[in-house]
Amino acid sequence: MKVAICSDHGGYELKMRLIPFIEELGHTVFDFGCYGTASVDYPDYAFPMAEAVARGEFERGVAVCGTGIGVSICCNKVRGVRCALCGDVLSAELTRRHNDSNVLAMGGRIIGVETGKAIAAAWLGTEFDGGRHEGRIAKITEYENRDNE
């Protein structure tokens, strides 16, 4: 799969460990930045990455900041993106099976590298269950596409 990835400074170190790991799993990874540990603003990286996923240029996206919360808030404001903030493997698996999440958010200051890798592997390797969950996803899409008043 083509996987987009981004971070701010708080997620930079975990992101840099995830990139070769995800490539070893057989995926192609494009890094939307940031490119170092100097302080930056996570929306500057999360929005462009999430928009590229929403446009279909990447099948999935991974966003990392200190807690994972800032990037997940940004990503979930982009129409067509369903971003799941995960700190454990079971949530990563279930959000793929139930929510068909297309962006994974993680907190580089919250979880360790090995946990981050395990979460990423589970999330990238799990398919959407479909079935009863399809109507729920359709309701999210319907809400996103409603006329804003």
Is 86 known to be catalytic?
Answer: no
Can you tell me whether residue 143 is helix, strand or coil?
helix
**Given 42, 45, 58, 123, the residue binding ligand RB5 (CB under 6 A):** 42
Q: Which stretch binds ligand RB5 (CB under 6 A): 25-33, 63-71, 78-86, 131-139?
A: 63-71
**Residue of 91, 44, 42, 50 whose CA lies nearest to 70:** 42
Check residue 61 for interaction with ligand RB5 (CB under 6 A): no
CA–CA gap between residue 67 and residue 88 (Å, rounded): 13
Which residue, 50 or 100, has its beta carbon nearer to ligand RB5?
Answer: 50
9 is catalytic: no
Q: What is the DSSP letter of 148?
A: P
Binding site for ligand RB5 (CB under 6 A): 8, 10, 42, 65-67, 69-70
Positions marked catalytic: 65, 98
